[in-house]
Structure 1
Amino acid sequence: MDDDKPNARWEQRTEIPLFMASLAFIAAYATLVLAVHMPSGWRALCWFAMLGLWALFVVDYVVRWRLGGQRFLRFAASHFLHTVVVVLPLLRPLRIVPLYDAIQRRQGAPLLSLYARVITYASLSTLLLGFAGALAVYQQERGAPGATMHTFGDAVWWAASTLTTVGYGDITPVTPTGRVIATGMMACGLGLLGAVTGSFSSWLMQTFSRQGDERRPPRP
């Protein structure tokens, strides 16, 4: 059974603690970005916390690689999301699917249908990605010459319009790094929005089809 494999046991034991660590990482990063006048001692504490949590993610990545028994390049290619969240730890909370799988193995039967799981995953991923993206772009745009993003509220509004592919254009990144982050968020927004709309449409079609079958008179 897959649950008996060392890498499966490692993931089941560590997924929930690592997800909580990723939320702590975002909290420390948000404190650094938003608490501008925070004392230097607290800022240093936030940096050390982020560094320690990132080292924890690296250790988890190395353990998964060693347990997998693959060459590093092959492991990095076949575990693309693992690699991305090590390079960009702000994206670590996006690994909600393995988290749900770990919880499900402990509880037994799935609590949600397939469509509900996809919609929930995509919605939570959108919220986490939007918050992390707003923080990252706001850090780059704040105080930049010609910037239209002056407050964190502006950054949240920009992230919402970007992820939903609306793109009003009233607030736009002007720094190179901010535009790179924006490009990634637009790509992720298209994928997540497509997952939500596709799953919701499939669920509606399945529901209406089932109702039609129930109302159809039986054949003589």
Structure 2
Amino acid sequence: MSRSGVLSPTRRVHYQPQLSNGILSQTQNYSIPELVNLSESFSSSYAHFNPLVTIIYSNASLSKENQQLLLNSYASCHRLLDHIKPLVGIPNDDVIDLMDNEGKLKELNVHSEDYASQYLAGRNTYFVVKIENDIVAGEKRYAANFNIDQVDSKLYSILSNAFMSLNKSSATKQKRSTTTTKQNTPVQPTSTGAQAKLKRTSSRK
């Protein structure tokens, strides 16, 4: 695939924009008029509200090519993320997030119970990001769960810099935390120092 275009996925999957008990259900087609029936409480004043977003990912076990998912963001953040994981080949225990084309992490995990549509703009494209917790280093590591080489040069630069910044910031926070802990740890007097102090006190007597 050439990098002259923004994206050139090999597969596009559509998902029905209706919710059934808060869970997104799969189908091959959808129609825009259905959007006003997302839920019983979904007012007609939202008729022009479009919660559909495009998710870009790659599943290394299937293909290195970027794939697209068309999803309904009118669900809670944690339900949306849990729904995405099996579709893109990520274990349920792993942590993921989405990044926009400006390199901004949407931090959907922080807003777990809020509607994802509050943070994801309809008709926009988002990229799957995998977040790993390095227990030994005590820091988070952010990795693209899509083939970043398959986006155009401008977007490649934006997303690459975003990942570098996120990982650098995480490492810096860990260093500051470690430094603060060391500074707050009281220094215990050594036995040699205590003996010297005792000797000086005895000589004065």
User: Which structure would you say has the larger Rg?
Assistant: 2
Structure showing greater relative contact order (alpha-carbon pairs closer than 8 Å, 6 or more residues apart): 2
Q: Place the TM-score, normalised by the shorter chain, in its bin.
A: 0.3 to 0.5
